Structures are given as C-alpha cells and as structure tokens.
Amino acid sequence: MKKNKIFLILAVVSFLVSACVYDFVAPEVQQPLPDNGGNGEETVSFASDIAPIFESKCTACHKPGGLKPNPDLTSGTAYATIATAKYVNLATPEESMIYNYLTPTSGTHNQKKYTAAEAQLILTWIQEGAKNN
C-alpha cells in the first residue's frame, strides 16, 4: 500500500512537471526570406525608393500605437517587418502582400493605395530579391 502511494505521488509529480515543460504556446515565427534573389545589379533601393513611400503614405497608421501597428512601416523597422514570407513572395513577386494588397486596382485596403509608379517600384524591388539595399 505504501509503495502504491509513493508510486502515485511520483506519477502525479512527474505528470505536473512534464505538463509545465510542454504546455506552452509557440510564438508566431516570422519566416525570414532566403537569400536567393537579386543579381547584384538592383535598380530599386529599399532605403531611397521604398522606405520614403512608406514614410510619406503609410506610417500615419502603420506605426507602434497607430491605427494598424502591423505591419510597422516606420523607417528602421519597415524592412525587418516586411521582409518576411507573409508580405514578400520571392517565387511569385506579384503575389506579395506588400504589393498586391494595395495596387491601384486592388479591391483591398481602401485606406490608401499605391500610385501605379509606386506599385511598380515595389514590384521591381521584390523581383530584384527584396534586398535591404
């Protein structure tokens, strides 16, 4: 009888310990992009062509504490935020959310759209490998 009790206590304790160890919620992992795009002859620069678009048209809302903090498009964090599999699709650039969600003809994101020229810059930047250049 005593042995059974000890066994029971051990079983309960080890269950609790293992429950503590394994019972956690996995954080949402942002997939970094593989470095497989671009040929070193990029024509569009993230710093001088793309970031200014975000600064002038997007960061009123897309900033920490803004109306829509995700994606955070403030300079300094914009690249790390969008250079992820969620927003950029290197295999099929046209399907990148940071591009097709707000092209002039998209049915989504009525708050703000890119001009045709801005959309083209974004698309070319992705086609060139979405570099932090």
Between 18 and 132, name the residue whose CB sits nearer to ligand HEC: 132
# residues near ligand HEC by CB under 6 A:
18
75 binds ligand HEC (CB under 6 A): no
Whether the ω angle into residue 104 lies within 30 degrees of 0, i.e. cis, is: no
User: Three-class SS of residue 74?
Assistant: coil
Least Å distance between CB 112 and ligand HEC? 4
Least Å distance between CB 85 and ligand HEC? 12
CB 130 within 8 A of CB 50: no
Between 38 and 109, name the residue whose CB sits nearer to ligand HEC: 109
Residues 6+ apart with CB under 8 A from 39: 128, 129
Among 44, 58, 78, 90, binds ligand HEC (CB under 6 A): 58
Least Å distance between CB 14 and ligand HEC? 42
Interaction mask 18-57, ligand HEC, x per CB under 6 A: ------------------------------------x--x
Q: Is the C-alpha dihedral spanning 69, 71, 74, 79 positive or negative? A: positive
Nearest to 60 by CA among 74, 46, 80: 74
Assign 3-state DSSP to the chain and report helix, strand, coil percentages, each to 5.
45, 0, 55
Residue ranges that bind ligand HEC, judged by CB under 6 A: 54, 57-58, 60-62, 67-68, 70-71, 97-98, 101-102, 109, 111-112, 114
